[in-house]
Amino acid sequence: MAATVAGLFVLITILGPVSGASFNPAVTLVVPGGNRLPVIAAQIVGGIGGTLLAHAMFGHAVIETGLKIRSGEGQWLGEMVATFGLLLTIRLGQKHRPEALPALVAAWIAAAYWFTSSTSFANPAVTIARAMTDSFAGIRPIDAPAFIAAQMIGAWFGWRSGGWLISEDTE
């Protein structure tokens, strides 16, 4: 988990000025602007590529299927909360502390890993990629659609709530 958080901080810091550090389809879909389909495709392909690379680095079969059961109302609520908080953090961080956004996002993901029942995937591309690993981080492919639906609901409410808190148009 620490490696994920540290890597996320570094990638947001260095890629933010280049591409907006766009790694998450839930963020891409709720934040207004741009041609989203190619970005979302790249996010998903990047997640899958990262999973395949990790398997190769650690001597796993390159192609695997997730077997970890991640299902049920508590897990889905955890994903809603994790993704709600992520989008709220992004929205309020952009407004009030843009220079701190990489640290804010990384800190939220670290905290949500520990306080949510789902261990805070908070990203549909990550969910898809984790359905392709039988590591401790995996998820059964059959459980992934409900996780993604929960993430999208949480993302929408997080973005809208952030707009409401800073009195900005949320469309």
Q: Where are the domains of the chain?
A: 2-165
Place of tokens 């709600």: 84
C-alpha torsion angle, residues 128, 103, 153, 79 (rounded to 10):
60
Contact 130, 137 (CB under 8 A): yes
Residue 137 DSSP label: T
- pLDDT over threshold 80, residue 170: no
- pLDDT over threshold 90, residue 23: yes
Per residue in 117-160, pLDDT (tens digit) is: 999 999 999 999 999 999 999 999 999 999 999 999 999 999 99
- 130-142: string of b/e by CB count within 10 Å (b at 16+)? bbbbeeebbbbee
The secondary structure element, H or E, covering residue 144 is helix 144-165
The two tokens of residue 20 are 């907006």
| Of 11, 145, 12, 32, the residue nearest 79 (C-alpha) | 145
pLDDT at 74: 97
pLDDT at 169: 63
- Label residue 30 by pLDDT band (50, 70, 90): very high
CATH architecture of 2-165: Up-down Bundle (1.20)
